[in-house]
Amino acid sequence: MTAKSDFAARVIAWQRTHGRHDLPWQNTRDAYRIWLSEVMLQQTQVATVLPYYDRFVAAFPTVDALAAAALARVLERWSGLGYYRRAHHLHAAARMVVQQHGGRFPSDATTLAMLPGVGRSTAAAIAAFASGERGAILDGNVRRVLARHRGVSGWPGIPQIEAQLWRVAEALLPGPPDGASNAIAAYTQGMMDIGATVCTRTRPRCDVCPVSDGCVARRDARIDELPSARPRKALPKRAIIMLLLERRGEILLEQRPPLGIWGGLWSFPELSLGEDIDAYLSVRFNATADAIERLPPRRHVFTHFALTMHPVRVRVGRWPDGVAMPGTAWFDADSAIASAAATPIRKLLETWMQSILQAH
């Protein structure tokens, strides 16, 4: 056997014996359900995805159902999973499939890569599982496996390093007879499984790795340094006030713009740090506050900046006509928790709910 065919054959044999086989999106050629799982698994672990996947499929069993649903309902089912742009992309892609492909979900990588939120690696993975199409993948876990196995130095986010890893991934693809459609699916799943369960970021299980014999990082004692870490850069910091406006057991939420952080989700009205709360209430809502309570600050780290939230609980006094302004709505405790809100906002809502219960 050549080194290439030996690598692929070992991965395939290992996956068929030791890999994962009972995930809800496996053992199907349904490109729609495979696509849902692959998008959900972007930057999210399997254990986290499992309950969301089941609920999402129950709510939107077909691409037509997803395309016909309101974006707000899609965001509700996605709420808590994070990286909410993925939900926007799912909805847009479903509508594209219905409009441009008659509701028949594509299963070839070229067409899949044209859908919003589907990159080269995701498209190849879907195509491998749905139609047995031969193509390389390069998700985060696979990058780690290949960087260690081939001794590729440099942060994989650098275009030159990424291009080098793509060349490695393509060179190691199984060819005939291991390149048959069912073998391609096993190889693709095997690479994912090895990265997720064996060649882990810390404490990799080299003793059970099917390709450890040829691993450069293991041979040269470089496991801890490969792949190279992202160059450290000072993370910009932002701070805001979040108003928990409370009225007769209800809380006011406002819907964020469709683009940007937490796009389309429900959140709290925001003020700049140091902005006068009474003046804000008067100008924006023609309202007044009966009581203001400052809660402990909370920190949330995004990819590109760190956000410190200073929540302020405000019991509303005067409120015009008892209604909300456009883009806002009053929620009782149950409906607030059930709303499409980001995890940090949901945690603040839970804090608010606890305070309501304690008051009674």
β-pairing, 250-255 vs 270-272, is unpaired
- Please tell me the least confidently modeled range out of 40-54, 136-150, 171-185, 302-316: 171-185
Structural contact between residues 197 and 32, judged by C-beta atoms closer than 8 angstroms: no
Rounded distance between C-alpha atoms, residue 271 and residue 207, angstroms: 54
3-class DSSP state for residue 122? helix
Helical residues (DSSP H) of the chain, grouped into ranges? 3-18, 31-40, 46-59, 63-68, 71-78, 85-101, 109-112, 120-131, 140-150, 159-171, 181-193, 216-219, 277-280, 333-338, 343-359
pLDDT, mean of residues 211-219: 96
Structural contact between residues 275 and 268, judged by C-beta atoms closer than 8 angstroms: no
Which residues have a Cβ under 8 Å from the Cβ of 180 and sit 6 or more positions away? 132
Please check the confidence at residue 221 and state whether its pLDDT lies above 70.
yes
pLDDT, mean of residues 157-171: 97
Domains of the chain, residue spans: 3-225, 237-359
Please check the confidence at residue 30 and state whether its pLDDT lies above 70.
yes
pLDDT, mean of residues 130-135: 96
For the annotated catalytic residues, the residue numbers are 38
Q: What is the pLDDT of residue 5?
A: 67
3-class DSSP state for residue 304? coil
3-class DSSP state for residue 347? helix
**CATH number of 237-359, picked from 3.30.457.10, 3.90.79.10, 1.10.1740.10, 2.20.25.90:** 3.90.79.10
Residue 45 sits at φ, ψ, to 5 deg, of -75, 155
Better pLDDT: 324 or 168? 168
The radius of gyration of the chain's CA atoms, rounded to the nearest angstrom, is 24
Query: pTM of the full predicted structure?
Result: 0.86
Q: What is the pLDDT of residue 326?
A: 81
- Let me know if domain 3-225 sits in CATH 3.40.50.720: no
Which residues have a Cβ under 8 Å from the Cβ of 64 and sit 6 or more positions away? 98, 103
Reported as a pLDDT band with limits 50, 70 and 90, residue 358 is low
Q: What is the mean pLDDT of the chain?
A: 93
